[in-house]
Structure 1
Amino acid sequence: MNDLIASSATFGVVLSLIAYGFGVLVKFHFHKNWLNPLLISVVITMSVLSVTGISYDNYYKSAAYLSYLLTPATVALAIPLYVQLERLKENVVAILCGLVAGAVTSMGCILALAAVFKLSHEEYVTLLPKSITTAIGMGVTAELGGYVTITVAVIVITGILGNVSCDFVCKMFHIVEPIAKGLAIGASSHAIGTSRAMQIGELEGAMSSLAIVVSGILTVIGASFFAMLY
């Protein structure tokens, strides 16, 4: 089976699309935030690979075409931001302060958890870029000497958790301002969370898109400093 999949250029793409499509149908039918299509597709894909004995490397090779779309999809998030450019200019100081606080808090929490759980330096730097988009996070981890594959998994899990829980968290802390909502979602759960922010509202989606870019830049700059602290 592994040999057959290794020679296939489409198995990974087909499996991924079918699994995600099924997740979308489940979410549409039950209307529950925790039934995230990406989470469902991950569970289905892992189950198929486990049952059939197909190695992850072979699956990844045949699904590489989807990976190529990651960067242009992230860049396309600039479109809603451009539409809300005037609102950005009106609140630029508050926005920047909020995003700096978000990036520092994210990396500071990882530093504290690393100390509590006595992680190695490699494990620590692997988790530092957990809240930024995969395209940037992989580069940060590789530069700092962490485990890139684990970083990818952690980033995806972080995004899914943000997507599923953002409505509950905003209600719990009485966050009603659209700009604050969007920035919080984008800064904590990158593109996966942004997909939920766009469903909440156009302004929330635009601010979440901005948070992805700025938080990514701040993390690239700040990760080198935080890496020296542990």
Structure 2
Amino acid sequence: MTGLAAPLWDVQNGQGLRQLFELGLALLLSSLIGWERAAQQKSAGLRTHTLVGIASALMMEVSQHGFTTVLGMDNVSFDPSRVAAQIVSGIGFIGGGLIFVRRDAVRGLTTAATVWLTCAVGMACGGGLPVLALATTALHFLVVRGYPRLSARLVPGTATNTFEARLTYRTGTALLPRLMQICTRRGFRILQVKVERLPAHTDNAARVLLELDGTQDPAHLASELFEDEGVIDVEITAATDDE
């Protein structure tokens, strides 16, 4: 009974409250990172990053405090760093599932790296290193938000935009090749094309989804596409996958 009651008394002694604070900090910081990824419409968003951060913090707490009742026994030794090492290895399965190759373009690298960073933030919280966890979260926002702008200023023309252009146009006029030519002339690379024919009552219209990548402003492209008389509607949205 003594071994089972000890964790309850730890709450009154302050250790349990500290552990709850560390889990709460992991929840807050990982949610902030996940919110930023969700705002960018990435494949791994708020829930994924939050769960990774909380789970990493909990496993660190278990690594440090979950085996204290057996450490005093004879012939028993324990290395808390082994659990941390297994966390780092295990998160690779999630990160690897986010990376894929489409037409010689690697996607998901930044999202996978962010999940890895969120894991490290959770481990820092669970390991009793809140200052490092806070600093790393701040550095995350600096890198993912500030570095693209800095790169665009230092090396103009290198910052690329990946987005989706949904075009509704009238069929029967060989319009699609001309629209694609406008995209390439503007300096955009066409990654994917999906054509969907709309119902007959929509005046023989079709909808095409173009996934594009380039350094120019998508708004200028949308304006030029809409100038064609055969184009009914143009919608530009950010792509859901990451660089």
**TM-score normalised to the size of structure 2?**
0.23
Higher helix share: 1
Higher strand share: 2
Larger Rg, first or second structure (1 or 2): 2
**TM-score normalised to the size of structure 1?**
0.24
